[in-house]
Structure 1
Amino acid sequence: MPTTAERAVRGRRGGVPLAIGFVGALLLGGCSVDVRDPSATPAPASTPVLATPTITPGHDAAAVAARDMPFAAGGDLAPGTAVGISDDLKGAPGWRMVKDNVAGGSEYAKADGCVVAARTSTGQAPLVRGDDRESTVALFQYLDAAIQPSYLKTATLKWGGTPEAPGRNVEVLALEQAVPGGRSTEVLARLFGTAGSSAYFSVSCPDAATLDAARQDVVRYLPLVPPAP
């Protein structure tokens, strides 16, 4: 993550703390998006027909992994392909794993008091909007309707690679809040609309300085993993 989200301007801080706290609690506790309209009428059964095999335009797993993944490039992923998250943070200096892939989420703790939760989810189609950026805004607002798009800043995480050989960049949205005298927290997320999957992180630390160091560790040791062929 060569760039990180800027802190929300002071004029908006009145509305952000509750939002960031609620989102952080949801992410640490786990969340699965499965929104259905119970009043919807099931589609009538149709006669099976032979389908012509199709290939998602532009989807080449090796090529997708080898280039940056900005919001506009989300359509390069094939429908139903899940994006993963590395678990290398468990071996980073000062960190230990607290939860290992429990219901799609993992949690890490650092000796300085920082806590990181990382989670992937599938079945995100109900939140998909016009593009991946709009869809990611919808994900944040699903977690807390009080979150306004203006609270969210564009940031980047790593797209593939290892701690020693970083990969490309992937755009995400970030919501950050530093509470005077309290913990500093940042939530980063990306919903991949075409793929129907999402990845999000919650980083909570005793103060802004430790948050900055933890964020750098997240960038280095928790890259998003592109779908395999």
Structure 2
Amino acid sequence: MVTAGGLSGEHMGADVKAQAAVGPAVGALLGLLALAGCSVGVPDPATPSVPPTATGFATPTITPGHDAAAVAARDMPFSAGGSLAAGAPVGISDALKNAPGWTAVKENVAGESRYAKADGCLVAAKVRANQSPLVRADDRESTAALFTYLDPTILPTYLKTATLRWGGEPGKPGPVVEVLVLEEPGQSGAKSRAVMARVFGAAASSVYVSVSCPDAATLAGARTEVAARLVVLPPLN
């Protein structure tokens, strides 16, 4: 897993000195992560130490003994990240554009899609490969490291766990994939925002989904639709 008042990862703030700084820190990340004032998106890591991000998915390779169908049929908690085939990238569906009230404003441009809803909600979804520099001991730590990379003031304790769909068909029961979420409730007329992300260490891939809405109520509804429609697609091999 993606800006009116949305997401950019550049020029982030100084380190947080105490847990009490969670409000300003979250506001700093979600307020600065903006894309031309028309949609919400989390930028990809981009420093000289990180290899250039691919604009498309890598060519699948066959991993002997790996049962991709079995992996796709099970939930994908953070602890199960090692069950993915090495280097085989994940994907993300575009089914949100078919939900009532939603339209696609950008479809799979360099791995990114953006959507808008009539109530003012904006969503951006990105998939990236070549994410090995972000990999830590497990996928939870790797995903937390991504948020910290985007803004050093973001501590792991600021992040919550949520789920998106993992394969299957939208609107039908199916397995789920764990993600970490950074939230910013709207205050004083500001938009309510949430960023969901997952780094798949074995697959060297990452998914970012960000949502921005006029208020908390519309954000809750948009997140429900995102969780049901934006299916994270397991690797095919």
1:125 is aligned to 2:132:
yes
Q: Is the 8 A contact 1:118 1:199 kept in 2?
A: yes
* Rg (Cα) greater in structure: 1
Q: RMSD over aligned Cα, in angstroms?
A: 2.3
> Paired residue for 1:42?
none
Please tell me the residue identity of whatever aligns with 2:196. Answer: L
Please tell me the residue identity of whatever aligns with 1:92. Answer: A
Find 2:234's aligned residue among 222, 226, 229.
Answer: 226
Aligned sequence identity (%): 56
User: 2-side partners of 1:73 and 1:37: how far apart?
Assistant: 28
Please tell me the residue identity of whatever aligns with 1:17. Answer: G
User: 2-side partners of 1:166 and 1:119: how far apart?
Assistant: 24
User: 2-side partners of 1:55 and 1:99: how far apart?
Assistant: 33
Please tell me the residue identity of whatever aligns with 2:43. Answer: C
Find 1:209's aligned residue among 217, 220, 226.
Answer: 217
Cα distance, 1:30–1:189 mapped onto 2, change above 3 Å: closer
1:187 is aligned to 2:179:
no
User: 1-side partners of 2:108 and 2:40: how far apart?
Assistant: 12
User: 1-side partners of 2:23 and 2:46: how far apart?
Assistant: 30
> Paired residue for 1:196?
204
Q: Is the 8 A contact 1:115 1:204 kept in 2?
A: yes
Cα distance, 1:75–1:21 mapped onto 2, change above 3 Å: same
Matches within 5 A, 1:153-168: 153-168=160-175
Number of equivalences? 205
> If the length of structure 2 is used for normalisation, what is the TM-score?
0.80
User: 2-side partners of 1:158 and 1:102: how far apart?
Assistant: 22
User: 2-side partners of 1:56 and 1:76: how far apart?
Assistant: 13
How far apart are 1:15 and its partner, in Å? Answer: 2.2
1:33 is aligned to 2:19:
no
How far apart are 1:147 and its partner, in Å? Answer: 1.0
Cα distance, 1:141–1:56 mapped onto 2, change above 3 Å: farther
Please tell me the residue identity of whatever aligns with 1:60. Answer: D
| Cα deviation 1:11-41 (Å, max 9, x = unaligned) | 7313210112234559946634355549xxx
> If the length of structure 1 is used for normalisation, what is the TM-score?
0.82
User: 1-side partners of 2:32 and 2:112: how far apart?
Assistant: 17
Cα distance, 1:70–1:143 mapped onto 2, change above 3 Å: same
Q: Is the 8 A contact 1:116 1:203 kept in 2?
A: yes
User: 1-side partners of 2:99 and 2:67: how far apart?
Assistant: 32
Q: Is the 8 A contact 1:177 1:185 kept in 2?
A: yes
Q: Is the 8 A contact 2:33 2:43 kept in 1?
A: no
